Structure 1
C-alpha cells in the first residue's frame, strides 16, 4: 500500500496539502447492468417498440460511474458525477418499425445504439450528523446526453434521435456505520413532473443500496457492493418523443478520502 500512497502524495500533495476541505472523496464503481424495460416511440407515425424488439434483454452490459465529493465543513457537501451508459445490440426485426419516418421492414438485420450519459452535480445538507448515523437532504441537476439510433446492417437505412437536456431531482442519503467501520447506505435521486410542465410528462429515479467494508484502520478507503435501480423517461408530445426505461445494476466499487490519504502520505515521508 505504501507505493500507491507515495505516488498519490507526489501527484496530489501540492493541491491538497493546504486544502481547507475536511474531505475530498473519490469513488469508482463498475459491474453488470440489466435492462428490465426500454420502451420507445419516435416521430408522428412512429412504431411503439420494447427492449425485446431490439434484443436488449439477452445480455448483461458493463456499466461504470465516477464521482468526486467535496465536504464543505461538517454539514455541507457537493458531489460531481459522471454516469455513462452506452450499449449496442443487433437483431433481426420481427415487425416493421417506423422510426422518425424511416421504416425498417420485418426481417431487416439492424444495429441499435442506446446512449444515456449523465453529468450530475448534487448538493447535500447534513440534517443528522451523528457518530454512527447521518442523514442528508438536497438536490441534483443533471445534464443528459441521450442518443437512440437504428441502422440496417446492409447500409440501406439509418436514423437517430438525439437530445441534450437538463434534469433536476430531489436527493437524500442515509448512512449507518458499525463500530467495526463496516457501513451501509441508502441514496436516492428522484423527480416527477406529474404532467405539470405543459404537454410533457416525465420523471427520473436513481436509488442505490450499499454495503461498505473499510480497507484501512481509519476507514479512509472502503470497498463496497452496491445494488442500483435507475429509471425514468419522458412523453414529449410537441416533439413526438416517448421513451421509458428501467435498469438494474449489481456493482462493486472503491471510495477513498484523498485529503486523508495525502496527509497520511506526508506524515510517512
Structure 2
C-alpha cells in the first residue's frame, strides 16, 4: 500500500509541476523554435475499469474471472508518461512508460487451482496483478501542415509482469513473473479546429500466432490493442490539455519453455479495459 500511495504522490507532484511551470517560463516552455528538433513531454492521469479479465495458470488450472471473483470491479488509478522527440520535420521518436500494479482482495466463491495449488472456496485472498510496460515508437508524419498529423510507424514494447495469489492467512503463495518483448504497429492522427481546439486518434496494435513470429520455442498466441480518442485545447503557447478515452486490451496464450519448480509454464490471460483520463502536453 505504501508503494501505491507513493505512485500517486509522484504523479500528483508531476501534474502540479506541469501547471506551475508555464507561469514561470516564457512563451516557449521547453523548445527553441530555431532548433531542428523539438521535445514534447506528456502526462496522462485518470481511472481505468475492467470490462473483462480472465486468466488460467497451468494446464490443469482454473479459468479465473478477476472481475467477478478477484476484486477488479472497482475503478483504479491510471497514468502514463511520454517523452517525444521530433526531428527533420516529420520524424518522431516516442518513449512511453505506463505503470499498472493492482492489489485487490476478495473471498473465493469457487475452488481455485493455479499451477497445481488448490485454494478452496471461501478462502479470503489477496491478488496482485502487475503489468507495467515500456514502449518505444517511431512515427513518420505524412501531413505537410505542421498543425496537423497523419503518422504511421512501429513500436517495440517490453512488459514487466508480476501475478500473485496469496491467502490472507499467509501460509501459501503462487507467484508468476516474466519480462517479454512485443512488436507493435502504430498510427496517430490529429486535426485542429479554428477555435483552438483539436481532435486526435491514436492506435497501437498487433496480433501474432505461432512459435517463430512470437519468438517462442512453443506455439504461442498474443495480442495487444491500445486505442484512444482525445479532444484537446491549447492552454497557452507550448502547453495543451485534453480529455482522453482509451481502450486497452489483449493477452497471451501458450506454454513457456522455461518451467519453474511448481508450474508447467502454461498461461492463458486475456483482458479488456477502458480508461478516462486528463492529459497534458508540454512543448
Question: TM-score under structure 1 normalisation?
Answer: 0.86
- Aligned counterpart, 2:278: 252
Deviations 1:91-116 (A, max 9, x none): 11011111112211111000001111
CA distance in 1 between partners of 2:100 and 2:202 (Å): 19
Deviations 1:53-85 (A, max 9, x none): 21212x100100110111012110000110111
- Aligned counterpart, 1:142: 157
- The answer on whether the counterparts of 1:104 and 1:157 sit within 8 Å (CA) in structure 2 is no
- How much does 1:247 deviate? 0.7
- Aligned counterpart, 1:263: none
Secondary structure, counterpart of 1:129 in structure 2: coil
Distance verdict in 2 for CA 1:3–1:103, change over 3 Å:
closer
Matched length: 250
Question: TM-score under structure 2 normalisation?
Answer: 0.82
Secondary structure, counterpart of 1:4 in structure 2: helix
CA distance in 2 between partners of 1:26 and 1:241 (Å): 36
Say which of 46, 49, 52 aligns to 2:61: 46
Equivalences for residues 1-269 of structure 1 within 5 A: 4-5=21-22, 20-51=35-66, 52-57=68-73, 59-130=74-145, 132-195=147-210, 197=214, 199-216=219-236, 218=237, 220-238=238-256, 239-257=265-283
CA distance in 2 between partners of 1:214 and 1:119 (Å): 28
CA distance in 2 between partners of 1:43 and 1:49 (Å): 12
- Aligned counterpart, 1:266: none
Q: Which runs of 5+ in 2 are unaligned?
A: 1-17, 257-264
- The answer on whether the counterparts of 1:42 and 1:240 sit within 8 Å (CA) in structure 2 is yes
CA distance in 1 between partners of 2:191 and 2:34 (Å): 27
Deviations 1:26-71 (A, max 9, x none): 01011111011111011132111112121212x1001001101110
CA distance in 2 between partners of 1:154 and 1:8 (Å): 54
| Root mean square deviation of aligned Cα | 2.2
Secondary structure, counterpart of 1:156 in structure 2: coil
Q: Which runs of 5+ in 1 are unaligned?
A: 258-269
CA distance in 1 between partners of 2:203 and 2:102 (Å): 24
Distance verdict in 2 for CA 1:144–1:252, change over 3 Å:
same
